[in-house]
């Protein structure tokens, strides 16, 4: 149980285009989902916290107009990187917390974005 799936796992796009990454909780309902960004050989940087049916809460320094987050249902959150540039290339990971808060987060497999 407690499986989180991300799609796509890899995406290459041209500079200036937008890319959407999906994060789904497959066998549980996730009231809260988190989006992280991970640079090579670095730790996870929390970008935003997404609560179902409400606006995401962004961490300081994260551009909300650049990284659009939507959490339309209890099983799906999406991250859209708008007008992507090469510096947006990174590994993006989502995680989810279930309705029963055990403190644990369940992570997706990650999505590697490469912007040419």
Partner 1 sequence: AQSVTQLGSHVSVSEGALVLLRCNYSSSVPPYLFWYVQYPNQGLQLLLKYTTGATLVKGINGFEAEFKKSETSFHLTKPSAHMSDAAEYFCAVSERGNNDMRFGAGTRLTVKP
Nearest distance from C-beta of residue 3 to partner 1, angstroms: 11
Nearest distance from C-beta of residue 43 to partner 1, angstroms: 5
Pick 42 or 64: Cβ nearer partner 1: 42
- How does strand 44-51 pair with strand 30-38? antiparallel
Cα separation of 95 and 32, whole Å? 9
Which residues of the shown chain bind partner 1 in the complex (CB under 8 A)?
Answer: 4, 6, 32, 34, 41-44, 46, 49, 91, 93, 95, 97, 102-110, 112
Question: Are 99 and 25 spatial neighbours (Cβ–Cβ below 8 Å)?
Answer: no
Pick 10 or 83: Cβ nearer partner 1: 10
What tokens were used for 86? 């090469």
């Amino acid at each position: 149980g407690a499986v989180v799936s991300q799609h796509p796992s890899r995406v290459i796009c041209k500079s200036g285009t937008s890319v959407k990454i999906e994060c789904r909780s497959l066998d549980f309902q996730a009231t809260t989902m988190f989006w992280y960004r991970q640079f090579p050989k670095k730790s996870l940087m929390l970008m935003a916290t997404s609560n179902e049916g409400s606006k995401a809460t962004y961490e300081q320094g994260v551009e909300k107009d650049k990284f659009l987050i939507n959490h339309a249902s209890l099983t799906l959150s999406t991250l859209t990187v708008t007008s992507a540039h090469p510096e947006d290339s990174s590994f993006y990971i989502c995680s989810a917390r279930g309705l029963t808060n055990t403190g644990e987060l369940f992570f997706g497999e990650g999505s590697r974005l490469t912007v040419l």
